[in-house]
Amino acid sequence: MYERFDIGMDVVCIKDCKTLKSGRVYHIGACGDLMYVTNKTGLGFGIEDNWSKEYLQYYFSEDEMDEYFITTDEDFKMAIRDKKINSIIGEK
């Protein structure tokens, strides 16, 4: 299975898709063969949208995960990097 993402992780959306909004944190609630739940083939993940009024789950292939999400660790490292860059160039 894919090593970057795994079931039970929280991920940060980096590109809007359906009701999923960039900048929000979502939970990976499922993983496995997509042919059982969608018309897609191959391995993938089920992303839970708990931000909407009703419970929704969307399914993404491994390649789509790279396009739409980053890990919370990656998001944290980017925030630290941005803070350091801004302190160097004198912005708040």
- What are the residue ranges spanned by the domains of the chain? 10-89
Q: What is the pLDDT of residue 2?
A: 53
Contact by Cβ (8 Å): 3, 63: no
Residue 92 has pLDDT above 80, yes or no: no
pLDDT tens readout for residues 5-52: 999 999 999 999 999 999 999 999 999 999 999 999 999 999 999 998
Residue in the block written with tokens 């909004």: 21
**pTM of the predicted model, to two decimals?**
0.86
Residue 1 has pLDDT above 60, yes or no: no
Say how far apart CA 17 and CA 52 lie, in whole Å.
Answer: 13
Give the three-class secondary structure for 80: helix
